[in-house]
Structure 1
């Protein structure tokens, strides 16, 4: 997790972002977003499963960023991408094929 070129980078280090992992991850995100960044690159490369609690963390992330906040997601596997589409989170988060595309979207 870091800040590069004005873009806050958050790598999710959980295989499952579920009721067990989501509360701790939410706390990490809240601490990272205390500076109110307007652009976040969210790396989901390690995530294999997300439940409704994990979805709640992503929605909270946007709320913590405030109006105008933009998030690009990389590393989402097919199952995670389907979940973003089914829940319509793909209208709020830009799903990108790689980091270069994500950075271009956030530029």
Structure 2
């Protein structure tokens, strides 16, 4: 799983550089993100701007990361592509996560 980390203000930004989060990569995704969260920053913002496909296993992996971080740190999502946003909307997970429509680099004024 190809991810990168950066900062946006006090936040830790984790950018997913793969186009899919599905059953084939869900475990690798969770492990990569857990390792990345060893770095400081709250909230943790997961930039999904390059992800064009997310299945139920991928959604479960994102939820698992949220549970791993809670309650000390929040997981927020940013830059969801339309197909990924649709999965969050259809499963009503868009009411569970804070979702930023802009890329994390534009979030410095938020919070």
Same fold (TM over 0.5): yes
User: What pairs with 1:1-107 in structure 2 (closer than 5 Å)?
Assistant: 1-34=5-38, 37-67=41-71, 69-99=73-103, 100-101=106-107, 104=110, 107=111
Residue 34 of structure 1 and its aligned partner are, at CA, apart by 3.5
Q: Paired residues, what number?
A: 105
Q: Cα deviation per residue 1:52-105 (whole Å; 9 max; x = unaligned)?
A: 11111111111111125333322211111111111121122122221325861x
* CA distance in 2: counterparts of 1:90 and 1:102, whole angstroms: 22
* CA distance in 2: counterparts of 1:31 and 1:103, whole angstroms: 27
TM-score normalised according to structure 1 size: 0.82
* CA distance in 2: counterparts of 1:77 and 1:25, whole angstroms: 18
* CA distance in 2: counterparts of 1:88 and 1:94, whole angstroms: 12
Q: Cα deviation per residue 1:2-43 (whole Å; 9 max; x = unaligned)?
A: 344321111111111111122111111111224575401111
Structure 1 residues 93 and 40 mapped into 2: Cα distance closer, same or farther (>3 Å)?
same
Stretches of structure 1 lacking an aligned partner (at least 5 in a row): none
* CA distance in 1: counterparts of 2:79 and 2:30, whole angstroms: 19
* CA distance in 2: counterparts of 1:62 and 1:18, whole angstroms: 17
**RMSD of the TM alignment (CA)?**
2.1
Structure 1 residues 25 and 103 mapped into 2: Cα distance closer, same or farther (>3 Å)?
farther
